[in-house]
Amino acid sequence: MKILLVDDAEDVKMFYSKIIESWGHDVSVANNGQDALQMINQLDIHLVICDWLMPEMSGLELCRKLRSLKLSHYVYVIMVTAKSKSHDIVEGLSAGADDFISKPFGVDILKARINSAIRIIDMENKLANMNRLLLNQNKHIKIAYDQLDSNLQEAQKLIGDTEVIVLKTNTN
């Protein structure tokens, strides 16, 4: 999975990127929300882990702008923050975050949240593939229906131009 880690603290990015890479993921890093938006537009990012408080563009602003983009796939966002009051969580979810990790946290929590995100992303991908398949099947059905309709109209013209005689026989 291609994961974007967004934090202004170099030590945090280096520590967590090494751990996440050891779990088999491809990790890119960004210093702030603005850099992250550019990377999301350029790379095939499906999961973003970002700090709430960053210079230039906060994690909240990143979520809002990300949700306004017309991307070909959904980008799951895990917000990392020391904020844990209910109104903070509501604000983050309203901005477009999908999940939260409260600081301080252990790597086991991070791994569990990433695995949960991957399950959701995989389901979204399967749903998108099924929708594409259904749209394709609908096109084929419409073509077949249009051909049947055309054949029926042609048959009605032929029958309409022909005098039909019905003979009833007595089988008694």
Q: What is the pLDDT of residues 65-113, one digit of tens each?
A: 999 999 988 999 999 998 878 898 899 999 999 999 988 889 999 999 9
Residue 14 has pLDDT above 80, yes or no: yes
What CATH number is attached to the domain comprising 67?
3.40.50.2300
Is 144 among the domain residues? no
Is 163 among the domain residues? no
30, 6 Cβ separation under 8 angstroms: yes
Number of compact structural domains in the chain: 1
Is 30 among the domain residues? yes
pTM above 0.85, yes or no: no
Q: Which domain holds residue 49?
A: 2-127
d(CA 160, CA 158): 5
Is 112 among the domain residues? yes
Is 119 among the domain residues? yes
